[in-house]
Structure 1
Amino acid sequence: MAELPDSIFVNPPDPPDPLLNILPYAVDASFSSYTLQHEPTCLPDTRIGLLEEIYKWADGQDERCIFWLNGLAGTGKSTIARTVARRYFEQHRFGASFFFSRCGGDASHADKFVTSIAVQLAQNIPDLYQYIYDAVGERSDIASQSLHDQWHQLVLRPLSKLGREGVRSYVVVVDALDECCDDRIIPIIIQLLAEAQSLEMVKLRVLLASRPEIPIRYGFRRIPDVAYRGFALHHTSPSIVDHDITLFLIYNLRLIGEECHLDADWPGGEVVTHLAGNASGLFIWAATACQFIREGRRFAAKRLETIIHSNSNAATAPEKHLDEIYIASLKHSIYTNYTDEEREDQYRTLRYTLGSIVVLFSPLSVNSLSRLLHVLKRDVDQTLEDLHAILDIPEDGRRPLRLHHPSFRDFLVNEDRCKDPNFWVNARQMHQKLADRCIQLMSTSLMQDICDVKAPGVRVASVESARVEQCLPPELQYACLYWIRHLQMSGAQLYDNDQVHQFLKVHLLHWLEVLSWMRRVSEGIYALNSLESIALTSNCPDLYAFVYDIKRFGLYNRPAIEQAPLQAYCSALVFAPIMSVVKKQFVDQVPGWMKRLPEVEKDWEAALQTIEGHLAAVRAVTFSPDGKLLASASSDKTVRLWDARTGAALQTLEGHSGTTTAVAFSPDGELLASASWDETTKTVRLWDTNTRAALQTLEGHSDYVEAVAFSPDGELLASASADRTVRLWDARTGASLQTLEGHSDYVKAVVFSSDGKLLASASADKTVKLWDARTGAALQTLKGHWGTITAVVFSPDCKLLASASWDETVRLWNTSTGGAALTLEGRSGTTIAVAFSPDGKLLASASADKTVRLWDTSTGDLLRILEGHSGTTTAVAFSPDGELLASASWDETVRLWDTRTGAALQMLEEHSGNISAVAFSPDDKLLASASADKTVRVWDTSVGAALRTLEGHSDYVEAVAFSPDGELLASASADKTVRLWDARTGAALRMLEGHSGTTTAVAFSPDCKLLASTSADKTVRLWDTSTGDLLQTLEGHSGTTTAVAFPPDGELLASTSADKTVRVWDARTGASLQTLEGHSDYVEAVAFSPDGKLLASASADKTVRLPSLSKRVAVSRSNFRPSVDVKGQWVSYNSEDVLWLPFDYRPTDVAVYGSIVGFGYSSGRVSFMEFVF
C-alpha cells in the first residue's frame, strides 16, 4: 500500500539503559526494531483521509483515548500503524509501540507487553524516566505481577506525576493485538489501555490496530463507548482503496523497472489499472505481487505476465487470486533445468523446510532451523533463496525467519487452496516430523547439569541469562518446549517402548532441568497433561503409567525444580515414594553424597501437590467456574490466585486490613468476592479476575464478615456476618439491596441454590435458615445440630442441603420438607466446611482433626479420609469436573487432591471408638489398628477392607506392632496386659500379664525372640515371645514409660518416659547403661539409626535430640565436621543449600551429629539421613 520501504528510522535493538537490565523488554516488538526495519510505511498521497482522521483524534480534544483501526487480513493495518508511529516519533510525541506477531517470540504473547511499553515511555519522555525508575525500585518484583499491577505501577502512576508544563499528549501504537497467542489476555489489554482515560495531566492516545476477531470485540464491549472510537478499513470506499493501491503499484513497479533496466513506461497505465482491479482492496495481494515480480529479476516482465493472465480476480475470489500469487512464487523457486528426480527432491526439501516454518509454534533462525531439521544450512539457504516474496529472510542467519503475512500459512496447509500437491503441506504429518526431530535433538543434546553449575542448590535466578542461552541454543529450547505440542497436533498414536517412552526413560530429568533453566516448568506440566491424554487414548498401559507418574512427580516437585534445576536429581528423587515409576527408573542418579536416604511413603498420596505462599492460616479456597484458577483467603489479610493445574502463584490481592475469611467467584468467572474481618469497616471486596484490580468495597455490616456467595445468574451477592444478618448486594453496582434478619447469633455461612430460588444461612444459633432469594422472605428454620453450624451447601440438584457443625457431625436435609435425611458422623472433631461434588454423589468435609473426609451422599457411608495437613482443615472445594479437590488449612497451605485416586488411602471406618495407633506389616500387605473400642482390626492394604477383628482386651487398646518376620502381632492395652496374636489368622496366642498400669507401647527385637513393653507403672518389661514368660523388669524411670526401641542387632534397648529422659539398657542382661537427659518435657518417641550407631529422641518440647551413647558409638564426634545444617526448606553443607525439603518432610526439629541428620516430625516420627561430601 502506500508504502515506503526505503525511509525507515531504525533504533539500535539494545539501547544502553539501566531499565533494560531490570524490566523484561521485547526487542522485536517495537516499530523501529531491527526485525521490522524493512517493513513499509504509507506512500505520500495515500490513505490521506484516514490518516487525517487519526491525526485529528491524536492532536485534538477528543476524550476517547483509543482509536481502534480494524480490518480484514491484508487491508494494510500494520502499514498505517507504522506510519502513525513514525510521524509522532519524529515530532517527539511518541510514547511507545508494541507490534504483536503470531510468528512467535516475545512479540507473540503479552508477558513483556507492559514492561516494554514502560521502557519505551521512559526512553521517549525524559521527564518520565525517573518516575518509572523509582516505580521499579518500589516493587522490584513488579515484572512478575499481574498486567493490571504492572500497568498501574509502571505506566499510569508515573504518567499521573507529570506536571502541566510542556507537551502533554503522547501516542502509543499497538498493532495486531489479535495475534497475541493468549485470547484471554486480549480483553485485559484493551481494558488496561482504556484506563488511560483517567489521566488528567497528560493525554495518552492509543492507536490499536487488529482484525475484528471475537476476543477483540469482546474486549471493546467491556469498556465504555466513550473510551474509544472505531474505524473499519474494510468498509472504506472502494474507490479510495483502489486509488491508494494504484499509487502503491505505480511506485513499486517503477522501482522494479529501474532495477531491472526495463523501459521507462513499463508496465503502462492499463496494466497497473488491471492489477489494481485484481487486488480489489487487498494490499497484501499488491505487496506480494510486487515482491514476486521483483524477485524475478531479469524475468520480472515474464512474472508480471503470469499474474496478468491468471484466471480469477480478487473482486470475486480474493483468496483464490492471492493463492495464485503464492503458487506462482513457489513454482518460480523450482529450477526447471533439473532432472525429474532432482526436481522431486527439490519439491520434497521445499515442503519439509517451508512446512516446518509454517507450523512452528515460535520462529527460528535459519541456523537453528537447519539444526532442528538436521539439514545442512546451505541447503536451507538454497531452498529459500527465491522465496523473499513470501518470507522475511534476514541476512544475519541468527535472526528468526518470518512470514510476510500469516495468510501464507493458511494457504499452504489447506489442500483446497494449495491445489498443487508438490507444495501442499500436510500439517499433521509435518507436526509428526517435527515431534520426531525434537525428540532426536533432545536425545543427542540433553545431559545432567547442562549449564555446568555443579552445585545442586544453585538457583535459576543466580545464573546469568547469557550463560543459559549459551548452553541452551534456540533450537534445543524450542524442542524442549514444544515437542509434546507437535505430538498432540500430529494425532499420533503412542505405544509402549516407542521413541517417546524410550526418551522419557533416559532423559526425563534432563528435560525437567532444562525447563527450569528456561523458567518454563509450568508449561512443561501443561504439556504433560496433554501427553497423559494422548497416552490414555492409545494402547500403551506401561507408557501411560509412566506419564501419569511423571505428572505426579512434576506437580509434587515443581517448587524445588523451579528454584534449583539440579534438585530434579536430588530432592525430587529422594522424596518420591518407593513405588514411583520415575524413582525406580532413575534411582541410580541420586547423588552419591547422600549415603543414607530418609524413609518415604510407599506410594503417591491423593494429594497432588501442596501449595505454599500464604503467611498465616488459609481460611477458604474455591475454584473458578472453568477450573483454571484457584482462589484462597488467609489470616495474612490477602487473597491469592493460583494456577489450578500447576499450583503456580499468579497474584496476591491486597487491600483488606484483617483476616480474609471467604472467597467466591461469580458464575462467569469475571468477578471474585472476598470477605474479611477488617479492623475498622467490615467489608466485602469485589475484584476483577482478569485485571486483578479491586473494583468495589461493599460496606454495611457492623461486625466481621464471615462468608460470601454469588447467585447463579451473577446478579446478586450475599454476605454473612457476625452482626447476625445476611445482606444481599447488586453484584455489578455494589448497591445494598436487602438485609435478612432472624438469626440470634452470628451468621457463619451463606449459599444460593443452583436454581437461584433459595438462599441458606448457617449460624452459631445452631440453626440453618432457608430464604426466598428474590424476596428475602424467611421460608424454613432447620434445627437438629447442638453446636455452632460452620458451613452449609446445596447439592447440585437442590434437593439436599448439607450443614457442618461443631457437634462433629454433618447433616443432610431435604430442602423441600426441611427434614433431616442423614447424619454423617466420623468422630473427627469440629467439622468446619463441606462441599458437594459437581455430580452430587460425593460430599467432602473439612475437620479440626486435620483431615478431609469423603462421603457417599446417598448412603452416608464414609468413603475415604485424606490425610496430610498438619493443621486444622478449614475449607474444601471441588473443581468443576470433579477430578480435583482443594483443601485449605491452618498449616498455611492449600492442598490439591486427585479424587479419582484418593481411594489408595485406607479408611478405618469400622471401629466404634477413636483409633489410637496403626502399624503396617513388614510386607505392607496388612495394617493393624488399635482402638478405644477395645479391639484390634487387621486390614488388607490393597483394597482397604477389614479382614478380621481381634477381641479380648477389656479396655481401650493403646498400641500395636508387627514382629519383623510378620508372623506375630502384639497389642498393648489400658487393661494392663499385652496380647500376642497370629498376624495371619488373628488367633489369640497368649496374654502377657505383669504390668500394674496401662501398657503404652510394644516393640519386637530384630530376631523376634523378645518383646518389650512400656507402661504407666514406670517400668519396661521384656518377654519371651515363644513362651510368654517375663524375662526382665527394667526399673529406673520416674514417670510413665512411653516408647521403646531396639537397634538393628538387638543388643540394646532404649526407652522414653514422661520423666523427660531416655534410658539405654542391655537387652540381654537388663542392666541400665545410660540415662540421657536434656529434654524439657516428656519424651514420646525414640529410634535408632539404621546402623545402630545413633539414637534419636523426640519430645513434647518440640525438639529432636541425637544424644551421644557411652557404648557402641563407633566413631567419635570429633571425626565429623559439623558442616551439615537444616534451615527452613533446605539442608545445607558448608552454608550452601544442597537438598530441598518438601513440605511433608520439613521437621519440627532437627538434630545433627557430624554428617548424620535426625529429623523429628510433629507426629513423633523420627527419620535419618547421612551425607558424605
Structure 2
Amino acid sequence: MSYNNLAVWACLPRTQRGQPIVLGVDPKGKKLLYANGNSVIIRDLENSSVADVYTEHSIQVNVAQYAPSGFYVCSGDQHGKVRVWDTINPEHILKAEYQPLGGPIRDLCWSHDSQRICVVGEGRGKFAHVFMMDTGASVKGDLSGHTKAINSVSWKPTRPFRIATGSEDNKSAFYEGPPFVFKCTKTDHTKFVQSVRYSPDGEKYATGGFDGKIFVYNGKDAELIKEMGSPAHKGGVYAVSWSPDSKQLLSASGDKTCKIWDTETGEMVSDFVMGTEVEDQQVSCIWTGDFVVSVSLSGFINYLNPADPSKPKKIIKGHNKPISRIGLSPDRNTLYTAGVDGTVTVWDVATGDNERISGKGHGNHVSGIVVKDDIVFSAGIDDSVKVIDRLQNGYTGTSISLGSQPKMIASLDDGVICITTKEICMIRDNVKVGSFPVSWDGLSISTNGSFSNEVAVGGQDNLIHIYTLDGNTLTEKTTLQHLGPVTDVAYSPDGQYLVACDANRKVIVYSLPGYEKFNRMEWGFHNARINCVAWSPDSSMVASGSLDTMIIIWSMTQTNKHIIIKNSHPQSQVTGLVWLDNERVMSSGHDGLVKTWNVKF
C-alpha cells in the first residue's frame, strides 16, 4: 500500500482591496514567491502549473522572501513571527523561528550576504527590527524615524549597507549601518508610502505611495534624483520593481495600470492598461530576468509584455479563496472547481492549464456543481442554479430560481436534482419542474444513474432518506440511521452500492437493493467531520476527505486495509474528491489548492 503526490495546482495570491501584497523571487529569477492564508506558494515562472507549498505558519502569512544565497526563505506572519526555512529539501526544514515584532509583519528583506534580516510592520512602539539569521541576535542600531506602521523595506544590495523604509506616516526613512543609524526622513509623499525598492546595482532606490507618486533617490545618501511622471499614476501606487539592469522601473497602481519608467529621464516607456473593473486594480508587481509580472485585485498573475503593452503574454487564473466544490467531466479530461467567492475555474487535467468561467455567476458561495457532456450546472447560495456552456467556458445567462438555499445538486439523465433547505426539486430543460417539500435540512444528494430510479438524500437529521423518482414525483422508500449529520452520499459507478459519510467521523457503505450495511461494518479512522466521499471508476475503492486534513482510501475487496494520506492539505480541510482512474485521485481544499495523488493497494 502506497501513495505519492503527483501534482499541486497552486492557489493565487490572497488579495484585499486597498492592501498591497509583496511578491518575492528566487536569486535565479525562476520561481515566484507569494502568500495565501497560512501558505507560502513557490511557483515556477516558466511552467506555472508547477508549484510547491510551505504551510507551517499557524496564522496568515503576509510576506516571504528568498535569501540572496537561494538556500533559505524567511516568511513573516500576522502575529509578528518569522520562520526561516530551507529551500533544498522537499520538507522545507525549519532553520529558526523568531518573534521580532509584536504585530503583523508587512515586509522583510535580507542583507546581500544572507546573514541579516530586516522586518517591518506594526508593533508595540516598534516598527522595525534587524537581526542575525542564525541566532536571532539583534543587530545594534537605531531604526526609529517613523511614527506609524512601516509598510515596506529594502536593503541596499551592495556595500556600504543602507536600509530604506516607507511608512503610513507618509514618510520614507533612510538608515546607515551596521550598526544602523537613522539618517533622515523624506517627506515628498503626501499619503502612505507603500513600496520601497533598491535597484539591483545599489545606486538608487525608488518609493511609491498612495498619492500616485514615484520618487527615485540616490542609494548612498538618499538625495532626491527625480520624480517619475507628474504624478506617475492617477491612483495609489501599490508596488515598484526595478529592471535587472537598474535602468527602468515597473510600477503597479490602483488606477488599473502598470507602467515602465526610464529612471534617467523620468519618462514613461510602456503603459499596460489592465482593464476597467475594480478587480483589475494592480496590487503588486515584480521584474525578474525576462519576466515582468503583476498581480490584479482578482488574484490573477499577469505576465506583461513590454514589446506589446496592449495585452499580457499570459494570465494565470485559479482561486485565491477556499474551494467549495469540484466536478469532473464525463471523459475525465476536464476538472471544474468552484469557490466560496462564487468563482468557477476549469482545468485541463493533463497540463494543469486553467481558465476562469466568464459571465455573471453566483457572486457568492457555490454549493454544488454537476458536469455533463456539453454543459455544467452550478448551484449557489443566491438560491439559484445557473448553466455554463462548456465550449464557451462562460455562463449562458440561464438562471433557475429555487426559492431557498441549495446545499448540493446531482445529475439526472435530462437535468439535475437539487436539495435545498426546504425542498428537493427537479430541473429539466432549464426549468424547475418538480418540488418535494422536506421538514429537515438537507446536506447532500446522489442519484443511481441509469441503474435505478432511486435518489439518496443526506440530512441534518442524521438520516439518509431514500426516494423513488417517478417522472417528477418522489416517493420515500426508506431511511438509514447515522449518528451525525450526513454530509455526503454517493452511489457507486456500477450501481451496486451507496456510500455515505457523516459528522460523526464514519464512512458507511450500503449494498443495494436492500440498503444493508456492506459486510456489517463501518469505517471510522477520521478524527473529525468527514466532508466528502468519492468512488473509484471500477467501484473497488472509496476515498473520503475530512476536516482533519486527511484523505483515506478504503478498499471494497480488502475491507480491513486502508491508505491514510495525512496532512493532504496541511492545516486545511478537504472539500472535494474525484477519481481520474483507478490509481489517481484529485482533491481540493480550503487552502485553495488542487492536488493529484497516486494510490496503490
TM range (shorter): 0.5 to 0.7
**1:695 aligned onto 2:139:** yes
Q: Is the helix fraction higher in 1 or 2?
A: 1
2:223 is matched with 776
Using the TM superposition, give the Cα deviation of residue 692 of structure 1 relative to its aligned residue in structure 2, in angstroms. 5.3
Q: Deviations over 1:861-881 (max 9, x none)?
A: 16243758767xxxxxxxxxx
Who is 2:58 aligned against?
Answer: 615
Asked whether the 8 Å contact 1:619–1:662 carries over to 2, the reply is yes
Query: Are 1:707 and 2:152 matched, yes or no?
Result: yes
Question: Alignment partner for residue 498 of structure 2, among 1070, 1093, 1108?
Answer: 1093
Specify whether residues 608 and 1045 from structure 1 end up closer, same or farther in structure 2 by C-alpha distance, changes over 3 A only. Answer: same
Query: 1:624-635 residue pairs with structure 2 within 5 A?
Result: 624-635=67-78
Q: Report the Cα offset of residue 781 of structure 1.
A: 5.7
| Displacement of 1:708 | 1.3
Are the equivalent residues in 1 in contact too, given 2:106–2:120 (CA < 8 A)?
A: yes
> Against the structure 1 CA distance between its residues 1123 and 994, is the aligned structure 2 distance closer, same or farther, given a 3 Å change threshold?
closer
Question: Which letter does structure 1 place at the counterpart of 2:371?
Answer: F
Change (3 A) 1:926 1:761: same
Describe the shift of the 1:833–1:1121 C-alpha distance in structure 2 as closer, same or farther (beyond 3 A).
Answer: same
- Are 2:513 and 1:1115 aligned? no
Which residue among 447, 452, 471 is the counterpart of 1:1046? 447
Q: 2:200 aligns with which of 733, 754, 760?
A: 754
Measured in 1, the distance between the counterparts of 2:445 and 2:388 equals: 17
Cα distance in structure 2, aligned partners of 1:692 and 1:614: 18
Q: Decide which of 241, 250, 253 is 1:793's aligned counterpart.
A: 241
CA contact (8 A) 2:172 2:186 kept: yes
Alignment partner of 1:923 is 2:331: yes
Which residue matches 2:312? Answer: 861
Mapped contact 2:400–2:430 kept (Cα < 8 A): no
Question: When you count strand as a share of all residues, which structure comes out higher?
Answer: 2
| Corresponding residue for residue 261 of structure 2 | 814
Aligned to 1:1142: 567
SS of the aligned residue for 1:745 comes to coil
Indicate the residue corresponding to 2:416 in structure 1: 1012
Alpha-carbon separation, structure 1, partners of 2:326 and 2:278: 17
Pair 1:1071 & 2:480 matched: no
- Tell me the SS of whatever aligns to 1:796: coil
**Structure 1 pair 742/971, CA: closer, same or farther in 2 (3 Å)?**
same
| 1:752, distance to aligned residue in structure 2 (A) | 1.7
Q: Which runs of 5+ in 2 are unaligned?
A: 10-46, 529-546, 555-561, 576-586
Go from structure 1 to structure 2 and tell me whether the alpha carbon gap of 1:972 and 1:734 turns closer, same or farther (over 3 Å shift).
Answer: closer
Alignment of 1:372-391 (within 5 A): none
Q: 1:1166 to 1:1044 in 2, by over 3 A?
A: farther
Match of 1:591 in 2: none
- Name the aligned partner's letter for residue 1033 of structure 1: G
Give yes or no for contact 1:610–1:1143 (8 Å, CA) kept in 2. Answer: no
How far does residue 720 in structure 1 lie from its aligned partner after superposition?
Answer: 1.6
Deviations 1:526-551 (A, max 9, x none): xxxxxxxxxxxxxxxxxxxxxxxxxx
| Structure 2 residue identity aligned to 1:811 | C
Question: Cα distance, 1:673 vs. partner?
Answer: 1.8
Residue number in structure 1 paired with 2:19 = none
Answering whether residue 68 of structure 2 is matched by residue 664 of structure 1, we say no
1:986-1013: per-residue Cα shift (whole Å, max 9, x none)?
A: 9x9x9999867699775424xxx34224
Q: Distance in 1 between matches of 2:344 and 2:574?
A: 32
Alignment of 1:958-973 (within 5 A): 961-963=370-372, 966=373, 968-971=374-377
The code of the aligned residue for 1:677 comes to: E
* Residues 1075 and 722 of structure 1: CA distance in aligned 2, closer, same or farther (over 3 Å): farther
* Matching residue within 172, 184, 187 for 1:726: 172
* SS in structure 1 at match of 2:569: helix
Distance of aligned partners of 1:1113 and 1:1056 in 2 relative to their CA distance in 1, 3 Å threshold: closer
- For 1:303, the equivalent position in structure 2 comes to none
Q: How far, CA to CA, are the matches of 2:588 and 2:351 in structure 1?
A: 31
Alignment match, 1:328: none
Residues 937 and 609 of structure 1: CA distance in aligned 2, closer, same or farther (over 3 Å): closer
TM-score norm. by structure 1 comes to 0.35
The structure with the largest alpha-carbon Rg is 1
Q: Which residue identity lines up with residue 86 of structure 2 in the other structure?
A: D
CA deviations over 1:885-908 (Å, ceiling 9, x no partner):
xxxxxxxxxxxxxxxxxxxxxxxx
**Conserved in 2, the CA contact under 8 Å of 1:1014 and 1:1020?**
yes
Measured against aligned partners, the alpha-carbon deviations of 1:423-451 in whole angstroms (never above 9, x if no partner) come to xxxxxxxxxxxxxxxxxxxxxxxxxxxxx
Q: Distance in 2 between matches of 1:1055 and 1:1032?
A: 19
The letter of the residue matching 1:614 is H
Supply the distance in 2 between the matched residues of 1:576 and 1:937 (Cα, whole angstroms): 20
**How far is the alpha carbon of 1:627 from its aligned partner?**
1.6
Question: What is the Cα deviation at residue 728 of structure 1?
Answer: 0.8
CA deviation vs aligned residue, 1:591-637 (integer Å, no higher than 9, x gap) = xxxxxxxxxxxxx9845432233332222111122322212122232
Task: Indicate if the aligned counterparts of 1:637 and 1:659 stay in contact, CA closer than 8 A.
Answer: yes
Residues 509 and 517 of structure 2 are in contact (CA less than 8 Å); yes or no, is this contact kept in structure 1? no
Counterpart-to-counterpart distance in 1, 2:103 and 2:291: 36
Query: What is the rounded CA distance, in whole Å, between the counterparts of 2:127 and 2:363 in structure 1?
Result: 49
Q: Cα distance 1:608–1:730, how it changes in 2: closer, same or farther (>3 A)?
A: same
- 1:676, distance to aligned residue in structure 2 (A): 3.5
Conserved 8 A contact 2:228-2:261: no
* Counterpart residue type for residue 1036 of structure 1: P
What's the CA shift for 1:677? 1.8
- What CA RMSD, in Å, does the superposition of the two structures yield over aligned residues? 5.8
Contact in 2 for aligned 1:660/1:674 (Cα 8 Å): yes
Task: Output one character per residue of 1:1040-1073: Cα deviation in whole Å (capped at 9) or x when no partner.
Answer: 9997532465543356899999865323452245
Instruction: Please give the residue correspondences for 1:132-143 in structure 2 after superposition, counting only pairs within 5 Å.
Output: none
Equivalents in 2 of 1:732, 1:1130: separation in Å?
48
Which amino acid is 2:83 matched to?
Answer: R
Aligned length: 495
How many Å separate the matches in 2 of 1:722 and 1:765? Answer: 12
Flag the 1:829–1:984 CA change in 2: closer, same or farther, 3 A: closer
CA contact (8 A) 1:800 1:812 kept: no
Q: What amino acid maps onto 1:801 in structure 2?
A: L
CA distance in 2, matches of 1:1034, 1:1144: 38
Q: Does the 8 Å contact 2:371/2:377 carry over to 1?
A: no
Map of 1:1035 onto structure 2: 436
Residue 743 of structure 1 pairs with residue 189 of structure 2 = yes
Matches within 5 A, 1:640-655: 640-646=83-89, 647-655=92-100
Does the CA contact (< 8 Å) of 2:458 and 2:488 recur in 1? yes
Note the 1:73-222 alignment, pairs <5 A: none
**2:292 corresponds to:** 842
| 1:1062 and 1:1075 in contact (8 A); partners too | yes
State the distance in 1 between where 2:71 and 2:50 align. Answer: 18
Partners of 1:1114 and 1:942 in 2: how far apart? 39
Q: SS in structure 1 opposite 2:95?
A: strand
- 1:391-410 aligned at under 5 Å gives the runs none
Contact 2:467 2:475 in 1 (8 A): yes
Report the counterpart of residue 408 of structure 1 in structure 2.
none
**Would the aligned equivalents of 1:1096 and 1:1166 in 2 still touch at CA under 8 Å?**
no
Distance 1:794 1:1140, change over 3 A: same
Shift in Å, 1:793: 1.7
Matching residue's letter, 2:474: G
TM-score of the superposed pair, with normalisation by structure 2:
0.62
Q: 1:138-161: CA deviations, max 9, x gaps?
A: xxxxxxxxxxxxxxxxxxxxxxxx
2:264 pairs with 1:823:
no
In the alignment, is the contact (CA less than 8 A) between 1:927 and 1:938 conserved in 2? Answer: yes
Which secondary structure state, in structure 2, belongs to the residue aligned with residue 613 of structure 1? coil
Opposite residue 745 of structure 1, the aligned amino acid is K
Tell me: higher relative CO, structure 1 or 2? Use CA pairs within 8 A at least 6 residues apart. 2
Q: Is the 8 A contact 1:662 1:707 kept in 2?
A: yes
